[in-house]
Amino acid sequence: MTSMTTPGIVPGRLQADDYARNFDDLYPDFEPHEAMVAADRCYFCHDAPCITACPTEIDIPLFIRQIQAGQPEAAGKTIFDQNILGGMCARVCPTETLCEGACVREMAEGQPVEIGRLQRYATDTLMAKGIHPYERAAPTGRRVAVVGAGPAGLACAHGLARHGHDVVMFEARPRPGGLNEYGIAAYKTPHGFAQDEVEWILQIGGITLRHGMALGRDITLEALREEFDAVFLGMGLAGVNALGTEGDDREGVRDAVEFIAELRQTQDLSTLPVGRHVVVIGGGMTAVDAAVQSRLLGAEHVTMVYRRGRESMSASDYELNHAATEGVRIITDAMPVAVHGNGAVREVEFAYTRQGPNGLEPTDDTFRLPADQLFRAIGQRLDGAPEELELERGKIAVSDTGRTSLRRVWAGGDCTGGGEDLTVTAVAQGRDAAADIHTQLMG
């Protein structure tokens, strides 16, 4: 745990204007003419590999053609028909490995159609109208509990409400949004977009939010099953994997997800302490977001260290290149073996790794990095899963439509075994579960 008194970790390393500039929107919005020019690059392929690459199967050629025709609101509706969180996904999806990675122009020219920015242009245009594009069906009299107001829960709740069911969402944190509100780099979703999107989604009606309600602490699955006609679990992953090395409890060592959440909820970033020498252990998006934002807060030296090769890192090449552009040093094939310091962290010792007969193992070749702040970003785990649920690799086992091992209980998002820890995948799972729940309730 860090504090204002931890040596080397101090707030206000930058000037006020620097914070505003560093954490402003990563990408500028398209102007209408720019969007039409970008849309004109689409080949409108008949087999549309971009649709296949999208977990929510948005009709990408159709919405791009609608933009090309000067109908961005219609394009936004096309997107929302498949992905009600299309605005957020346009900002945070790894489009370079999904739709844009499958784009024919990417294959032929190395420069895909800017699908992500076009999607953002269309969804933002429609949302700016302030009118929700969907109407709620006649009330069915059925009630569904949704645990977790993250991407999966919101998508499920909206789908159920559209069908006329009453939905009660139970959220452990003070604000809804889940990963979108607490776990994504601030420069990707500035200006309160996550909360604006939630409010826009709730305009469908029929959804009640209850905050400060955690499964296993304030509510039980058994009680929810008794009170509601169906239950959807979308509570994400609350646990964080530990380093398991000597000294990993020293001052200045903390979880990257905790740091990102604190940053996202801090109104004045000049009050948020950051180290001069920051080390981040991990190779995923959480590690990248923690590393880049440390630099943007004023850390002088930031290093990401991952135990395997770069090809095994779950963060995309685009995100890793962005981190490098921001001044983050990336070291691969090395694992932590000790955290040194007198009370507070001062150095982190690493050993280079190799593949041995029993898998990855440390070598005798070691090195040390100076550090006054160390972030752990080595994966999250599901803690406190109801004992009656069947698990798969430590997560809730589900069918293709989100059904769990318990009758009338569905699940989706990061807490499930089939998730990919992506916002867009969570949305798809929540949407599909809502459709299956509706079928079961009305069947």
8 Å CB contact between 214 and 178: no
pLDDT at 1: 44
DSSP string over 3-51: -TTSTT-BS--S-HHHHHHHTS-SSPPPPHHHHHHHHTT----SS-HHH
8 Å CB contact between 326 and 317: no
pLDDT at 418: 64
**52: CB partners within 8 A, 6+ apart:** 102
pLDDT at 419: 58
pLDDT at 28: 82
Q: How far apart are the C-alpha atoms of 402 and 15, rounded to whole Å?
A: 48
Q: What's the predicted TM-score (pTM) here? A: 0.95
Q: Which domains does the chain have, with CATH numbers?
A: 32-128 (1.10.1060.10), 143-238+431-442 (3.50.50.60), 240-376 (3.50.50.60)
Q: Which residues pair with 251 in a beta bridge?
A: 344
pLDDT at 443: 85
Cα-atom radius of gyration of the chain, to the nearest Å?
22
pLDDT at 2: 44
Q: How far apart are the C-alpha atoms of 127 and 73, rounded to whole Å?
A: 9
Collapse the DSSP code of 298 into the 3-class scheme (helix H, G, I; strand E, B; otherwise coil) and give the result. Answer: coil
From first to last of the 443 residues of the chain, give the pLDDT tens digit.
Answer: 444 457 789 999 999 999 999 999 988 899 999 999 999 999 999 899 999 999 999 999 999 999 999 999 999 999 999 999 999 999 999 999 999 999 999 989 999 999 999 999 999 999 999 889 999 999 999 999 999 999 999 999 999 999 999 999 999 999 999 999 999 999 999 999 999 999 999 999 999 999 999 999 999 999 999 999 999 999 999 888 889 899 999 999 999 999 999 999 999 999 999 999 999 999 999 999 999 999 999 999 999 999 999 999 999 999 999 999 999 999 999 999 999 999 999 999 999 999 999 899 999 999 999 999 999 999 999 998 999 999 999 999 999 999 999 999 999 999 997 656 799 999 999 999 999 999 999 98
Count CA atoms within 13 Å of residue 370 on its CB side: 7
Q: How far apart are the C-alpha atoms of 60 and 47, rounded to whole Å?
A: 11
The torsion of the CA quartet 220, 224, 226, 231, rounded to 10 degrees, works out to: -130
State the DSSP H helix or E strand holding residue 119, giving kind and residue range, or none if neither. Answer: helix 115-128
**9: CB partners within 8 A, 6+ apart:** 2, 3, 252, 273, 274, 275, 372, 373
pLDDT at 7: 74
Please give the angle made by the CA atoms of 294, 239 and 85, to the nearest 5 degrees: 70
pLDDT at 4: 44
Q: Which of 394, 49, 67, 426 is nearest to 232 (CA)?
A: 426
pLDDT at 26: 85
